[in-house]
Structure 1
Amino acid sequence: MIKFRGIVWSIHPLFVLVMIASIVTGYFAELITLFGIVLVHELGHVIVARGYGWTIREVKLLPFGGVAEVEDTGGLPAKEEAVVVLAGPLQNVWMGAAAWGMGQLGWWDSEWAAYVLQANIMIGLFNLLPILPLDGGKLLQVVLSRSLTYHQMLTWGARISLLLSAGMVLYAFSPLFQGGGRGIQLNLLAVGIFLFMTNWTYNRHIPFLFLRFLTSRGTASTRHIIRGVWAQPIVVSQRHTVTAALRLFKRDRYHLIVVMEERGRILGILPEQQLVNGFLEDGKPDRAVCDLFM
């Protein structure tokens, strides 16, 4: 574990196992190359994120990329997150192109250049799979946030990731049913199990992640008001609970909560800060929205 420029860099145990296996089997040069590719990939994320002013606390390196722990993740603009996410795979593009060029010019051995090229292609494409916490999973959430509420985005991102990672685990066993004497794809199985367990934990932590989103709404709301934006109304009945209304919040939107009777008469309009503060201050999720007028 190393701390550099305020960011803690660590190596995930899964990567440690890969390193040990590579050293035992004599693939030390390939190990160093893989580590360098993963490090540059993650540096792409970090540099662009820091350029946006994000605060990154820790980066964990994995055999296929990394996981960055970012402060105020719930309040970050979707457009910025998409750019930061794509900055990682883009590093694999130029590294792969450079390796190919080195091989064509004869500056590198053709087999070694082909290995580095293939490693970058595999890491870049694997990271684009729509499974959290891979880059593709984060892009999936950005896309989902365009049409779904933030809570739905968290829920469906976890469900899709669980389904696909479970499919990866099952696919690792497919050679057993294809004949030819081939065995289980152990590398794919290990990664699939890791992703499934990660998303199982992520799914259980959705209430906490949603709470982080709500606590960041104060800063986001102030930013919206200063800049001036169109408010997106959320219409609820007087029987709606505070939690039910909060789960209608969308990312990158400023909301006005319109409380109405069944006959259509408006009882009142709440700015989103009042709804969020009312929830955070008393912590009563089943409290009726109309009680905030009292």
Structure 2
Amino acid sequence: MARISLSISRNFGRLNVTFNLLILVFAGAAALTGYFREYIQTLFFIFVHEAGHLTVGSLLGAQVCNIRLLPVGLNAGINMADCTGRQRIAVYTAGPCTSFLLALIFFLLYNICDPRGFFLAGLYTNLYLGGFNLIPILPLDGGKIIQELLAARLGILRTGKVLKHVSVLLSAAIIAAGLAGLFYSRSGVNLMVIGVYFFMCMGTSREETAFMNIKSLLFRKSRVIRKGIYPVREIVALKHMKLSEVIKALDYIDRFHIINVLDEDMRVIKVMTEQEVLEAILSNPADTTFDNLMQIEYNVHNEVN
């Protein structure tokens, strides 16, 4: 069965731009229900919010890979592999800060200009956008900021587990607030939908965390070469440990890892860098241990001699 695409995608050099046709459906529904102007205004404010991310990312040297125009706004894919943790946090906070700045501008205009209704709507919409995106749940900006702060101290994988627990609690609280709100107004339905959406996002959080760890490992070599000097984190691993298990411990984003391999007497018998471990994983079976690796190296050395 042929798959029907609901998007139009075009490449402009290295930049991919995708337009989701459901925008037309949402715009039509908004027009029929009398909320077309509000829908367009909200889309515009979301675009400005994302423009804040794009502007700061470009200033810090990050590459914009793709832009998706969605029924609920704009989503920008920014490659920040060469950015530091502080620079990534700056990019994530740029969107909410842009929304709050717009809210301040609309507040000032509300007090000096007419018609006040438009400026009041702009004030509340941007306050909502800025505050909503700071909720510490992935994939919102707040979740990404917390992820960066914790990953520097706990590592990517442990941070992913912490954020999952936080997301469950906050999502449940939002749904509970929505249920309680049903007794007073229809706005409770909106909270329930948001809470369910957050639960759905958690379904892919584990895969995204693992991907983020591998991506960090692959790009760390280029960052070390580019900077020349890079912070180091040392760990120890017994020789019977599998390389595939050790790679999970190399998840501190802004640290290059040195692995000290120990024997049963806790003596260092081999020292490897994370790059050497990564290359060994790619060229050997998945269940290869440090002991197996040293035996392979010993056999190769004997064959050469």
* Distance in 2 of aligned mates of 1:117 and 1:5: 37
2:97 and 2:13 map into 1 onto residues whose CA distance is 23
> What's the C-alpha RMSD, in Å, of the aligned pairs?
2.8
Shift of 1:149: 1.6
What letter matches 2:210 in structure 1?
P
For 1:204-224, what per-residue CA distance to the aligned partner results, in whole angstroms no more than 9, with x for missing partners?
444344333332233234345
Q: Secondary structure at the match of 2:258?
A: strand
Summarize deviations over 1:168-208 as a string: whole Å, max 9, x none: 233322234xx45x457222222322222122123244434
TM-score after normalising by structure 1? 0.84
Task: Give the partner amino acid of 1:190.
Answer: V
Match of 2:142 in 1: 136
Q: Is the contact made by 2:262 and 2:268 (CA closer than 8 Å) also made in structure 1? A: yes
Residue by residue over 1:136-160, the C-alpha shift from the partner in whole angstroms, topping out at 9 and shown as x without a partner, is: 0100101111211222223333443
Do the aligned partners of residues 77 and 159 (structure 1) sit closer, same or farther apart at CA in structure 2, a change above 3 Å counting? farther
Q: Note the C-alpha offset of 1:77.
A: 2.3
Give the superposition deviation at 1:72.
6.3
| 1:57-72 aligned within 5 A | 57-60=65-68, 66-71=74-79
Q: Which has the larger radius of gyration?
A: 2
Equivalent in the alignment of 2:244 = 243
Matches within 5 A, 1:283-294: 284=286, 286-293=287-294, 294=297
- Counterparts in 2 of 1:184 and 1:34: CA distance versus 1, 3 Å: closer
SS of 1:115's equivalent in the other structure is: helix
Question: How far 1:34 sits from its partner (Å)?
Answer: 0.7
Q: Which runs of 5+ in 2 are unaligned?
A: 1-7, 298-305
The one of 196, 199, 216 aligned to 1:213: 216
Contact persistence 1:38–1:61 (CA under 8 A): no
Whole-Å Cα distance in 2 between the matches of residues 89 and 239 of structure 1?
Answer: 48
Q: Give the alignment partner of residue 272 of structure 2, picking from 252, 266, 270.
A: 270
Q: 1:278 to 1:202 in 2, by over 3 A?
A: same
Contact 1:64 1:127 in 2 (8 A): no
Q: 1:259 to 1:42 in 2, by over 3 A?
A: same
Compute the displacement of 1:21 (Å).
4.1
Q: CA deviation at 1:48?
A: 1.4
Distance 1:230 1:77, change over 3 A: closer
- Normalised to the residue count of structure 2, the TM-score between the two structures is 0.82
Residue deviations 1:225-284, cap 9 Å, x none?
Answer: x1x234221111112221222222211001111111242211111111101111233361
Q: Give per-residue Cα distances to partners, 1:75-99, cap 9 Å, x unaligned.
A: 6421111000011111112211111
Paired-residue identity, %: 26
- Contact 2:243 2:289 (C-alpha < 8 Å) held by counterparts: yes
* Alignment partner, residue 257 of structure 1: 259
- The one of the two structures with greater contact order (alpha-carbon pairs below 8 A, sep at least 6) is 1
CA contact under 8 A between 1:258 and 1:270: conserved in structure 2?
yes
- Quote the residue 1:39 is aligned against: 47
Runs (5+) with no aligned partner, structure 1: none
Matches within 5 A, 1:118-137: 118-137=124-143
Provide the aligned length of Structure 1 versus Structure 2. Answer: 286
